[in-house]
Amino acid sequence: MKIGFMCATANNGVCTIDEIIDEVRAGEAMGFDQAWMAQVFSTDAISMMTLLGRETTRIALGTAVTPSYPRHPTALALQVLTASAASGGRFALGLGLSHKLVIEDMFGLAYRKPARHMQEYLEVLMPLLRGEACAFRGEEFRVNARFNVPDAPPAPVLVAALGPRMLEIAGRLADGTITWMTGPRTLATHTLPLIRQAAAAAGRPAPRVVASFPIALTAAPEQARARLARSVEAYGQLPSYRRMLDIEGASHPADIAMLGDEAALRTQLEHLRSLGVTDFNGFCVAVEDGAAARTKAFLASAKAALAA
């Protein structure tokens, strides 16, 4: 299982370009396999990862995640191909629908038939990323295009798939999934079986499953959970995440956070690996002074034991 971390999370996700570069360079020096960045309401994540492709040499880079609706798939394809070329093939696109609250209520775009939107989006995007011609006519997209970005290997596309239909689409058309607010029970009984089944039925390789969790190394897990609860409460009010929490049997988003001492965290990480999670993305949360840095150091030290 590969081990990565969420970067650019300090100051509520408002970080300078230099701060993010310094953070990811430090993560590379610590030995992390991957660095992930969310697309929120600050620095553009794909642009940042393109810059980081020239500022680093080994660490894999990815978005967790880029919303599809604000970017036409042809525009996104060129961004992804450029990031792939800049990083020597180390970039992976995490792609998601976002939420009606953002897409429709904030951006003023229609959030109708989101699963159909993602299917059509991938029907356009995937051949373009392979350097193939795309001739597609659907209800939402009509595209006849082909791109050529030198030295751009095809980038993996990981769909933020939660419900059954989205997992089927991800398994059939993309390279895997990247999850958030999805606990270990849900991964074992829902996410992994459905996406694997869809990939096998389509004759595709076994999908990557990137599991993202809030995590903190702490000697006081219950106090840490209470502090974390205030900052993640909103996730439980978003319908797609609420459904995942309900499958897990979690009443609050903080209930799925990985909190505890080294032994407890190692046990939880080993469990995820045993389920078939291929990549772990740690959101190292500042539940107490020094917790985020301490947790990141722990993850880097645990990486070798989880590599199998």
Q: What are the pLDDT digits (tens) for 263-302?
A: 999 999 999 999 999 999 999 999 999 999 999 999 999 9
Measure the CA–CA gap between 121 and 126, rounded to whole angstroms: 9
Average pLDDT taken over every residue of the chain:
97
Q: Average the pLDDT over 144-166 and give the result.
A: 98
Residue 200, C-beta contacts closer than 8 angstroms, at least 6 positions apart = 171
Q: Is residue 241 part of a domain?
A: no
Q: Is residue 299 part of a domain?
A: yes
Q: Is residue 134 part of a domain?
A: yes
State the pLDDT at residue 307: 77
CATH number at residue 175: 3.20.20.30
State the pLDDT at residue 161: 98
Amino acid at 298: F
For residue 76, give the DSSP letter: H
- Per the structure, the complete domain to which residue 85 belongs is given by 2-221+258-306
What is the pLDDT confidence band of residue 63, given thresholds at 50, 70 and 90? very high
Amino acid at 193: P
Residue 238, C-beta contacts closer than 8 angstroms, at least 6 positions apart = 99, 101
Residue by residue, DSSP assigns 133-176 as -EEEE-SS-EEEE----TT-PPPPEEE---SHHHHHHHHHHSSE
CB 2 within 8 A of CB 33: yes
What is the pLDDT confidence band of residue 113, given thresholds at 50, 70 and 90? very high
Q: Is residue 184 part of a domain?
A: yes
**What are 216's strand-pairing partners?**
259
State the pLDDT at residue 23: 98
What is the pLDDT confidence band of residue 181, given thresholds at 50, 70 and 90? very high
Q: What are the pLDDT digits (tens) for 222-245?
A: 999 999 999 999 999 999 999 999
Q: Is residue 183 part of a domain?
A: yes
Asked if pLDDT for residue 53 goes beyond 90, the answer is yes
Q: Is residue 109 part of a domain?
A: yes
**What are 63's strand-pairing partners?**
37
Asked if pLDDT for residue 308 goes beyond 70, the answer is no
Q: Is residue 243 part of a domain?
A: no
- Token match 């959030």: residue? 111
Asked if pLDDT for residue 188 goes beyond 70, the answer is yes
State the pLDDT at residue 306: 85
Could you list the beta-strand ranges (E) of the chain: 2-6, 34-37, 60-63, 66-67, 91-96, 134-137, 142-145, 157-159, 176-179, 208-217, 258-260, 279-284
Q: Is residue 301 part of a domain?
A: yes
Asked if pLDDT for residue 58 goes beyond 80, the answer is yes
**Percentage of the chain lying above the pLDDT 70 cut:** 100
State the pLDDT at residue 123: 98
Count of domains observed in the chain: 1
State the pLDDT at residue 193: 98
